[in-house]
């Protein structure tokens, strides 16, 4: 995610240097960051469903090892047939 943010900023800066200020470059950067963020939104606690990357209202680039809502160990390896 940090790499994607750096790439988005670089893309906006390069478009700004070559073509001048462009709203389309900002829009493209936002769309790119939404697509890169999609896998992070799917990493939830199997017991309660809380996202492991959220710390209150803040999102950080590494997940919790222990769920802050129910205390489930998210670092535990699941058996191969755990998902059904």
The C-alpha atoms of residue 78 and residue 84 are separated, in whole angstroms, by 12
23-41 vs 2-19: helix crossing angle, rounded to 10: 170
Asked whether the CA dihedral 56, 59, 65, 70 is positive or negative, the reply is positive
**pLDDT given for residue 13 in this prediction:** 93
User: What does the pLDDT read at residue 79?
Assistant: 64
User: pTM (2 decimals)?
Assistant: 0.60
Confidence tier at 49 by pLDDT (50, 70, 90) = confident
Dig out the tokens for 30 from the structure. 């936002």
* Strands 58-59, 54-55: pairing kind: antiparallel
């Amino acid at each position: 995610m940090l790499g994607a943010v750096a790439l988005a900023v670089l893309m906006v800066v390069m478009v700004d240097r070559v073509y001048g200020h462009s709203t389309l470059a900002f829009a493209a950067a936002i769309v790119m960051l939404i697509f890169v963020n999609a896998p992070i939104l799917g990493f939830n606690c199997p017991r309660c469903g809380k996202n492991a990357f959220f710390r209150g209202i803040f999102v950080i680039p590494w997940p919790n090892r222990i769920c802050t809502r129910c205390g489930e160990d998210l670092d535990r390896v699941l058996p191969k047939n755990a998902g059904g």
